[in-house]
Structure 1
Amino acid sequence: MSDLVWSRDGGDWPNRQASAFVEAAGIRWHVQRMGQGPPLLLLHGTGAATHSWRGLMPILAQQFTVVAPDLPGHGFTQPLLAHRLSLPAMASDVGGLLRALDVKPEIAVGHSAGAAILARMCLDGKIAPQLLVSLNGAFMPFGGVANQLISPLTQLLVMNPLVPRLFAWQASNPAAVERLIANTGSTVDAAGIALYRKLVRSPAHVAAALQMMANWRLQPLLHDLPRLTTNLLLVAAGNDRSISPDVARQVREICPQAAIEHLPGLGHLAHEEQPSRIADLITTYAARTSPAVSRSTGL
């Protein structure tokens, strides 16, 4: 149980040949970049890392220049101060990374909390993609009493420095990580389980995930979503136990221009379960909305 170090823990990291480290927004980022074509940004969700794109990224790289960072404190990217792990601050810092990379994504794809960060970036003028793809996007806060309790409880957990180490210690039991993944409604292969286990055995990674949860405020984003002019695709997995598929319908009520694609039988990690299916959706909608992608793909 220790924090992740690339020289020790990155030897078996998926798509390792595409990895680099970049200084931006005051921290050192782990970024993966591969392929040729219109630029496409992938942004993972809370508690994940670039490993989540291990199957999807090489497929998209056949038609796009794909860029995927580890979010601050996640995977192999350095952590930020706790207050910087809020939605607007992370949107700003990812924007700083893109400026350092000189990347202006034509397509932006986010999973869970990553989709909310990308929407915030669009609204704040940090990016101007032709298409925003939300994979089981975390746009809605927990309802009722849960919404009043979860954030304060998470803040109390984050204040105790022993809590991330306790989570990491519990992850030494392989069954604990298998249960964690099963609770998302997804079926992930053994290699994927091993990668998640590596992540959650890192106290720094766990602390970043908890700090994100403690700082997560979605009401300002929901207030601003009607101003979103970017083409929006909402992908909703029918077996998602983390984000209700009904969230996509609620978001479309706010953003009538949005399209919804339902994926029966898949869970919260649908892009890990069936990366080819997700890649087809992204490419099809990208070709409809982006002239550059249409020319590149011939669709």
Structure 2
Amino acid sequence: MNWQHAKPYWPFAQYSQFTLQKPHLWHIQDIGTGPVILLIHGAGSTTHSWQHLVPFLTDRYRVIMVDLPGQGFTRLGAQQRCGLDHMAEDLTSCLTALDLAPKVIIGHSAGVAIALRLAELAKFDCKVIGINAALDHFRGVAGVLFPLLAKAIANMPFSSSLLSKIAGHDQTVDRILKGTGSTLTAADVEFYKELMRSRSHIGATLQMMAQWDLEPLLARLPRLQTETHLIASSNDLAVPCATSQRAAALLPNADYQALPNLGHLAHEEDAATIAACIAPMLDLGCASGT
């Protein structure tokens, strides 16, 4: 994606910085002062997905947002490092190099798995808040076919270019977003249309899907002592509430909360509700989004 083209309209562009922490050139947004909160988006998204939630946090916290490797404006430095463990390792190294020790990591969807793995690797104490956590493996035949198909597509010449042309069609993006159960504003949908037209973004997302392996992390959940709060939306058509409920039951220091009506992109469609939900976990008090 072209940063110079997007900079005039990208959310919080004035807080963006680029740092080379091998192997990637990271796009990071650094806003506010106070204890550090790290926000990790899900697969196929970017920092833009937090734009409505951030104003509820920055009056008392220093908010760090990052684009995952190859997605958005982070330049992928090693194609083979798009899986869960590698991304968590590289992000941990980046945080260490920047002298950042988050007190809280908030993840969305696949970002929750990265947050939990990062908490395992980090040399600082933190809690994890997960929004519609993708913490379950594919079941049955899909568990075998999906990774194989993703790998096959990711390794095909010109596959990301072709898919970006297909996925970038307005109707395709609308159909994908409808499948999340969330209702976004037209302005928010435009960000996803731009992302889906990006060959590099689609390619990195495919690599993430192809290299994703949750099994080791899922096996360790009963031993993971990180304080964890999992929030799930009842109208999430992408990741069922039961996924977060099961994960919370396995984690020894976790709780679970269900939210009515909202879909998979809950933090985008109703940031105020999400902010109110996580406020007790952060001790935000009367923070407002103005």
CA contact (8 A) 1:34 1:58 kept: no
2:181 matched to which residue of 1?
A: 185
TM-score by length of 2: 0.95
**What does 1:238-249 align with in structure 2 at a 5 Å threshold?**
238-249=234-245
CA contact (8 A) 1:135 1:235 kept: yes
Q: 2:223 aligns with which of 215, 223, 227?
A: 227
2:107 matched to which residue of 1?
A: 110
The residue type paired with residue 229 of structure 2 is: L
The residue type paired with residue 165 of structure 1 is: S
Deviations 1:33-61 (A, max 9, x none): 11122110000010000000111112211
Give distance in 2, aligned partners of 1:171 and 1:152. Answer: 20
Matched, 1:196 2:217: no
Q: 1:214 aligns with which of 210, 215, 218?
A: 210
Deviations 1:236-255 (A, max 9, x none): 01111111110012112211
Matched, 1:149 2:145: yes
Aligned residue for 1:253, secondary structure, equals helix
Q: Relative to structure 1, is the Cα distance of residues 221 and 126 closer, same or farther in structure 2, using a 3 angstrom cutoff?
A: farther
**What does 1:24-35 align with in structure 2 at a 5 Å threshold?**
24-35=21-32
The residue type paired with residue 199 of structure 1 is: L
Which ranges in structure 2 are unaligned for 5 or more consecutive residues? none
Aligned residue for 1:208, secondary structure, equals helix
2:60 matched to which residue of 1?
A: 63
**What does 1:1-299 align with in structure 2 at a 5 Å threshold?**
4-125=1-122, 127-129=124-126, 131-287=127-283
Which ranges in structure 1 are unaligned for 5 or more consecutive residues? 288-292
Aligned residue for 1:233, secondary structure, equals strand
Give distance in 2, aligned partners of 1:183 and 1:163. Answer: 23
Structure 1 residues 231-240 or 159-168, which shifts more?
159-168
The residue type paired with residue 206 of structure 2 is: L
Q: Report the alpha carbon displacement of residue 126 of structure 1 after superposing the two structures with TM.
A: 5.1
Taking only the aligned residue pairs, the percentage that are identical comes to: 38
CA contact (8 A) 1:13 1:51 kept: yes
Give distance in 2, aligned partners of 1:238 and 1:105. Answer: 29
Structure 1 residues 26-35 or 84-93, which shifts more?
26-35
Structure 1 residues 105-114 or 249-258, which shifts more?
249-258
Aligned residue for 1:84, secondary structure, equals coil
CA contact (8 A) 1:123 1:227 kept: no
CA contact (8 A) 1:168 1:203 kept: yes
Q: Report the alpha carbon displacement of residue 231 of structure 1 after superposing the two structures with TM.
A: 1.1
